[in-house]
């Protein structure tokens, strides 16, 4: 079982898993977090066909195909086994599973030599003499790395141990990756097993540490606690990581805990401190839309345009409920000069776009705007009259944050262009026009290309109507600034 922690790793580990399973002749499950990773859009370095071909072991592929069931050379497989031999045959598989770690390590090394991206089945990140360490796997590792980087700057001795090969679990290599100086460990599991003593990863780590201590391989047994987080994509941000490290600093930390929720029933939750980490993104944007109005599709196109036409990295994540059409959708867009590790929602944005007027007094959108940020509202009201129609609470927040407030009548533009309720292309152009994330007229050119690619199969007339929509979006957004208050 091989666990990927990011979109890049999801691609890379697919190839590593194929090479390892062919070499080891043991089935693999390559898994990653549902929704947080599976539904995230991120800029990655794609594998070339040549790299894939060079890393796939052709001799093992031929041998694998030769072992396939074939009437020309029949064999018997999968029949019943009697009690006199079954136990022995199961134990006879031990050498195959014992060799899996080496095959995975070899596959990762070969992959690193070919691509420059180095991976290890167990990989430590942080201070070489760390005293507090988090052990976990999955998408939250990027968030942990961000927090560790900041705490190292503050002089704290902390680290995170990434588990990539979950099964077979190698206690030997886990301990080799763990600093000898560690005094307190928190093992985080993204699962819950009611009735069990603890969750699976915690039990594996605790067993490895206890056996090493009993065998004299470690002089001390670190205090080890276990926690649960992120069930059903529950938010796990920097504040959660800080809470875990704070708990490890206590003389008597909770042996079992939850983080990311408020548990007033069994009181297992950790208090969340204020997130004081500085943001590293060049731009963070939030788009509030209605299911089926095209807001999610527009954000996806924005990410692709930024990723393909600039050297920057772009990340997108989308929050919506099970109602889909007619429900609230919130699109999170990040742009950065470095690879984006932030596997959590945007709390404070440089740009907030409200694509539906009815949301203005239902959701706290202005509160999520950074001081001096841009707030774009889709509304039928003109720039002269819209301010007086805003709730007083929204006016106060926008004034307090000295926001740059703009309006655009995207619904009217969409109707005039024959687009119906699909306001996405209008709002796309308004976003690019206000943020200047793309230089000059390149946003218009890129959007026209994206529209042609998306809608050409439905006719040139629809393409031209969308082109008309983005042209109108640029003109209105630029001329509709409203002075707060």
Q: What is the pLDDT of residues 87-142, one digit of tens each?
A: 999 999 999 999 999 999 999 999 999 999 999 999 999 999 999 999 999 999 99
Q: Are residues 391 and 249 in the same domain?
A: no
Is residue 273 in a domain? no
Contact, 227 vs 240, CB < 8 A?
no
Strand ranges (DSSP E) for 181-282? 184-189, 223-229, 256-259
pLDDT of residue 325: 64
Instruction: Kindly state whether residues 293 and 414 are assigned to the same domain.
Output: yes
Same domain, 338 and 459: yes
Q: Are 243 and 298 in contact (CB under 8 A)?
A: no
State the pLDDT at residue 75: 87
| 93: helix, strand or coil | coil
User: Nearest 5°: phi and psi at 20?
Assistant: -65, -40
The answer to whether residue 12 sits within a structural domain is yes
CA distance 374 to 202: 45
Question: Which residue, of 226, 243, 259, is where some domain finishes?
Answer: 259
Query: Which residue, among 238, 258, 252, has the nearest Cα to 184 in the 3D structure?
Result: 252
Banded pLDDT at 478 (limits 50, 70, 90): very low
CB–CB of 299/426 below 8 Å? Answer: no
Q: Is the peptide bond before 168 cis (omega within 30 degrees of 0)?
A: yes
Biggest CA pair distance of the chain: 88
CATH code at 182?
A: 3.40.50.920
Question: Would you tell me the crossing angle of helices 424-435 and 442-455 to the nearest 10 degrees?
Answer: 160
Same domain flag for 336 and 473? yes
Specify whether 108 is located in the same domain as 199: no
Average pLDDT over residues 55-59: 97
- Distances in Å between the Cα of 428 and the Cα atoms of 172, 313, 330, 410, 443 are 52, 18, 15, 10, 9
Give the per-residue pLDDT at 81.
87
- Checking if the pLDDT of 480 tops 50, the result is no
CA distance 409 to 391: 19
Number of domains in the chain: 3
Within a domain: 448:
yes
In a domain, 395, yes or no: yes
Residue 2 in this model has a pLDDT that exceeds 80: yes
Share of the chain above pLDDT 90, in %: 74
CB within 8 Å of 363: residues ≥ 6 apart: 288, 328
222 domain-assigned: yes
Instruction: Report if residue 275 sits inside a domain.
Output: no
Ramachandran category for residue 401: left, alpha or beta (phi over 0 → left; psi -120 to 50 → alpha)? alpha
Element (H, E) at 449: helix 442-455
Identify the residue with better confidence: 402 or 451: 402
Pair 34, 137 in one domain: no
* Interstrand relation of 481-482 and 349-354 (parallel, antiparallel or unpaired): unpaired
429 within some domain: yes
- Quote the CA–CA distance of 126 and 179 in Å, as a whole number: 10
> Of 85, 208, 54, 211, nearest to 135 (Cα)?
208
Assess whether 156 and 234 both reside in one domain. yes
In this predicted structure, the answer to whether residue 69 has a pLDDT above a threshold of 60 is: yes
Tell me, yes or no, whether 42 and 138 share the same domain. no
Q: Give pLDDT, residue 479.
A: 38
Q: Enumerate long-range contacts of 448-453, CB under 8 Å, 24 or more apart.
A: 450/301, 450/304, 450/305, 451/425
User: Mapping DSSP to helix (H, G, I), strand (E, B) and coil, where does residue 438 land?
Assistant: coil
220 and 300 co-located in one domain: no
Instruction: Provide the residue range defining the domain that includes 189.
Output: 122-259
272 within some domain: no
**Which burial class, exposed, middle or buried, applies to 121 when counting CB atoms under 10 A from its CB (0-12, 13-18, 19+)?**
buried
Contacts of 204 (CB under 8 A, 6+ apart): 169, 171
pTM, entire model: 0.92
176 and 148 both lie in a single domain: yes
């Amino acid at each position: 079982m091989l666990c990927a922690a990011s979109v890049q790793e999801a691609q890379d580990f697919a190839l590593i898993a194929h090479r390892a399973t062919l070499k080891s002749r043991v089935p693999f499950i390559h898994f990653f977090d549902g929704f947080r990773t599976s539904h995230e859009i991120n800029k990655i370095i794609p594998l070339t066909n040549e790299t894939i071909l060079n890393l796939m072991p052709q001799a093992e592929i031929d041998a694998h195909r030769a072992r396939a069931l074939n009437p020309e050379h029949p064999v018997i497989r999968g029949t019943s086994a009697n009690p006199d031999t079954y136990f022995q045959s199961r134990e006879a598989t031990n050498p195959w599973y014992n060799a899996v770690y080496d095959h995975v390590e070899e596959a990762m090394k070969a992959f690193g030599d070919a691509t420059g991206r180095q991976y290890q089945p167990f990989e430590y990140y942080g201070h070489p003499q760390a005293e507090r360490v988090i052990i976990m796997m999955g998408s939250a590792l990027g968030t942990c790395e961000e927090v560790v980087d900041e705490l190292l700057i503050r002089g704290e001795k902390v680290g995170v141990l990434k588990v990539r090969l979950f099964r077979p679990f190698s206690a030997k290599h886990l301990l080799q990756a763990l600093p000898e100086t560690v005094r307190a460990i928190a093992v985080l599991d993204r699962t819950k097993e009611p009735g069990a003593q603890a969750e699976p990863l915690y039990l594996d780590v605790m067993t490895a540490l206890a056996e090493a201590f009993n065998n004299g391989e470690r002089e001390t047994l670190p205090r080890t606690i276990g926690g649960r987080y992120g069930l059903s994509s529950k938010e796990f941000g920097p504040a959660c990581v800080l809470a875990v490290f704070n708990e490890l600093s206590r003389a008597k930390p909770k042996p079992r805990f939850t983080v990311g929720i408020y548990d007033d029933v069994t009181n297992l939750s950790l208090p969340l401190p204020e997130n004081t980490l500085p943001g590293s993104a060049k731009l963070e944007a939030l788009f509030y839309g209605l299911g089926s109005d095209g807001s999610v599709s527009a954000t996806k196109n924005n990410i692709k345009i930024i990723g393909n036409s600039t050297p920057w990295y772009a990340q997108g994540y989308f929050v919506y409920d099970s109602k889909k059409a007619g429900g609230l959708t919130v699109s999170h867009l990040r742009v950065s000069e470095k690879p984006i590790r932030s596997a959590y929602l945007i709390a404070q944005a440089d740009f907030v776009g409200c694509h539906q007027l009815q949301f203005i007094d239902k959701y706290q959108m202005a509160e999520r705007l950074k001081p001096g940020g841009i707030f774009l509202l889709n509304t039928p009201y003109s720039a002269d009259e819209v301010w007086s129609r805003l709730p007083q609470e929204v006016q106060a927040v926008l004034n307090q944050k000295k926001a740059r407030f703009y309006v655009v009548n995207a619904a009217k533009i969409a109707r005039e262009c024959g687009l119906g309720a699909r306001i996405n292309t209008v709002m796309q152009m308004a976003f690019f026009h206000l943020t200047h994330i793309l230089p000059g007229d390149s946003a218009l050119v890129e959007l026209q290309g994206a529209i042609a690619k998306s809608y050409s199969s439905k006719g040139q007339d629809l393409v031209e109507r969308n082109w008309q929509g983005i042209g109108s979006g640029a003109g209105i957004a630029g001329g509709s600034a409203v002075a707060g208050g």
